[in-house]
């Protein structure tokens, strides 16, 4: 009930009367104002003044509807103890978090989850070296949610002042982190807000302005913009997470991140979790600057992929690649496949070719605007698209459940990108398949990839069935040219 619900106001107009009734609201007196039948006084003629129309105030955005925990208990989520494996039951996690973990069918911790949670739940800082697909996002999110639920807020309690901040280099990764956080917080009242560029500025601002915000996941640029305009305050941040620090460095975001770090409480007054796929000297220096006595956890690339992803390389010519891809998808009835290309032009051409074969597919590359990328990703997640053709813009941080195959139409130039690509399948212990096409040009990248992952890749020639001629395509309809506009000039004078 509003604080001013019981206030009254005096009525002085002779044409109005008040009546005191007992209203239905908590039995409080309600003063009703009604007109008394009488002959109204003649209206004075006054000059009409224009009435300014004001835009109606927008209602604050609704929070995500939370689920009721009800009478759920741990007896409904039994996981047997296994030697050498850590269960989520082995940590003192809130029942609401365990309920969400049960819904997500997380039974045993991945190596990085076991190591990170063991130290961070006690409030210690951590530095993690881990590739994508190792479950690190769930590790830091479970730590954040547990801390926010079990510890009283230390800050000022101001609006638009989050208790936890997560920084990531790309919009797609921020969106994925926020989505994962919503799933893990399904039975709590924790408010999570993603902040990133390329989308409706005002819509994101409405989610923060005047709101009690608990967790913000953001890209550096949009967050700094909000901060400079004083739409958000970072003075109450208790837990700070930097994800994919090496990519932040590559993309030139570190100066922006420094500004963000300096606007938060000192590292001795906050918990900092620092994650990177590689630990170069530059990345190590950043970790030393922003963390205090961190626990260092390293999950090597071979542990992240080899055990969970079947990897096969087909030796083909450049001209055979499209045929092989078509037959691979159709003969094996593959769904939820990501195909990676090195160049945007190849991505566009392959996407158009698959559509001509009536294979539902979407495209992700730097040429696709943000709203279209979001729509494409959602359609792919929901199964409306069978194939997603992408450049490495989707190589990191995109977690889509149920991806059975990743196809490297081109082998990547950088061996690290190979691990990031095939990490889209076989995530967090699940199984998956990676198929790479090695032509006369791509074959030169194989030795470096094998050295990086620490094992030889199985190479084979495709069967005749996989190289069978695909159906003939109808000719591409050329668009009729528009007639040139007639000149409005008169005839030239001789």
Which candidate, 471, 407, 416, 469, places its Cα nearest to that of 438?
A: 407
Report, as an integer, the average pLDDT of 27-56.
Answer: 44
Widest CA span in the chain:
99
Domain 110-299 CATH assignment equals 2.40.30.10: no
Long-range contacts of 226-231 (CB under 8 A, 24+ apart): 226/195, 227/260, 227/263, 231/160, 231/205
Residue 2 has pLDDT above 60, yes or no: no
Domain ranges in the chain?
110-299, 303-460
**131-171 residue pLDDT tens:** 766 789 999 999 999 999 999 887 666 778 999 999 999 88
Model pLDDT, residue 185: 96
Which candidate, 224, 242, 231, places its Cα nearest to that of 207?
A: 231
Q: pLDDT class for 428, splitting at 50, 70, 90?
A: low
* C-alpha–C-alpha distance, residues 98 and 142, integer Å: 10
Residue 53 has pLDDT above 50, yes or no: no
* C-alpha–C-alpha distance, residues 364 and 225, integer Å: 26
Report, as an integer, the average pLDDT of 9-23.
Answer: 42
Q: Per the confidence metrics, is the pTM higher than 0.85?
A: no
Residue 27 has pLDDT above 90, yes or no: no
- Residue of 414 and 398 predicted with greater confidence: 414
Report which secondary-structure segment, H or E, holds 325: helix 321-331
Choose which CATH entry (3.40.50.12280, 3.40.50.300, 3.50.50.60, 3.60.70.12) describes domain 303-460. Answer: 3.40.50.300
**94-130 residue pLDDT tens:** 999 999 999 999 999 999 999 999 999 999 999 998 7
**176-206 residue pLDDT tens:** 899 999 999 999 999 999 999 877 788 888 8
User: How close are the terminal C-alpha atoms of the chain, in Å?
Assistant: 87
The two structure tokens encoding residue 305? 């992929």
Long-range contacts of 211-214 (CB under 8 A, 24+ apart): 211/60, 211/159, 211/160, 212/159, 213/159, 213/160, 213/161, 213/162, 214/148, 214/162, 214/163, 214/164, 214/190
Contact (Cβ atoms closer than 8 angstroms) between residue 112 and residue 277: no
Contact (Cβ atoms closer than 8 angstroms) between residue 273 and residue 128: yes
Residue 388 has pLDDT above 80, yes or no: yes
* C-alpha–C-alpha distance, residues 238 and 214, integer Å: 10
Which candidate, 410, 377, 372, places its Cα nearest to that of 394?
A: 377
Report, as an integer, the average pLDDT of 79-108.
Answer: 93
Let me know if the fold of 110-299 is the same as that of 303-460: yes
């Amino acid at each position: 009930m509003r604080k001013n619900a019981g206030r009254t106001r005096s009525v002085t107009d002779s044409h109005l009367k008040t009546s005191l009734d007992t209203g239905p609201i908590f039995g409080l007196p309600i003063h009703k104002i009604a007109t008394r039948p009488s002959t109204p006084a003649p209206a004075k003629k006054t000059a009409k003044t224009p009435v300014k129309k004001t835009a109606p105030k927008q209602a604050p955005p609704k929070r995500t509807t939370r689920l009721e925990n009800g009478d759920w208990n741990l007896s409904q989520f039994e996981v047997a103890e296994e030697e050498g494996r850590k269960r989520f039951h082995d940590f003192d996690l809130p029942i609401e978090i365990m309920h969400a973990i049960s819904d997500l069918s997380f039974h045993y911790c991945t190596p990085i989850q076991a190591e990170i949670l063991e130290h961070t739940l006690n409030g210690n800082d951590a530095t993690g070296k881990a590739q994508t697909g190792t479950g690190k996002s769930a590790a830091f999110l479970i730590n954040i949610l547990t801390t926010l639920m079990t510890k009283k807020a230390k800050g000022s309690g101001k609006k638009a002042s989050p208790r936890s901040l997560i920084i990531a280099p790309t919009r797609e990764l921020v969106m994925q982190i926020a989505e994962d956080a919503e799933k893990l917080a399904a039975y709590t009242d924790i408010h999570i807000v993603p902040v990133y560029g390329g989308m409706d500025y005002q819509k994101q601002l409405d989610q923060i302005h005047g709101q009690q915000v608990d967790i913000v996941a953001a890209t550096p640029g949009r967050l700094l913009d909000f901060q400079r305009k004083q739409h958000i305050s970072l003075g109450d941040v208790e837990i700070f997470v930097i994800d994919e620090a090496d990519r932040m460095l590559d993309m030139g975001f570190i100066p922006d991140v420094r500004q963000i770090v300096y606007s938060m409480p000192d590292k001795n007054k906050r918990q900092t979790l620092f994650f990177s796929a590689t630990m170069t000297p530059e990345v190590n220096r950043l970790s030393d600057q922003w963390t205090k006595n961190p626990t260092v956890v390293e999950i090597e690339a071979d542990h992240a992929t080899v055990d969970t992803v079947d990897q096969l390389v087909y030796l083909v010519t450049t001209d055979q690649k499209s045929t092989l891809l078509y037959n691979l998808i159709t003969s094996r009835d593959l769904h939820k496949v990501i195909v990676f290309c090195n160049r945007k032009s190849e991505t566009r051409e392959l996407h158009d070719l698959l559509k001509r074969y009536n294979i539902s597919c979407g495209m992700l590359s730097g040429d696709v605007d943000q709203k279209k990328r979001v729509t494409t990703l959602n359609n792919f997640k929901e199964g409306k698209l069978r194939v997603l053709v992408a450049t490495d813009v989707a190589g990191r941080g995109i977690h889509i459940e149920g991806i059975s195959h990743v196809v490297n139409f081109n082998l990547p130039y950088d061996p690290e990108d190979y691990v990031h690509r095939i990490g889209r399948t076989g995530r967090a212990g699940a199984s998956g398949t990676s198929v790479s096409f090695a032509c006369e040009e791509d074959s030169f990248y194989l030795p470096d990839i094998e050295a990086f992952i620490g094992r030889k890749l199985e190479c084979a020639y495709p069967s005749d069935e996989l190289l069978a001629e695909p159906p003939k395509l109808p000719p591409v309809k050329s668009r009729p040219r528009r007639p040139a506009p007639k000149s409005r000039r008169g005839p030239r004078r001789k």
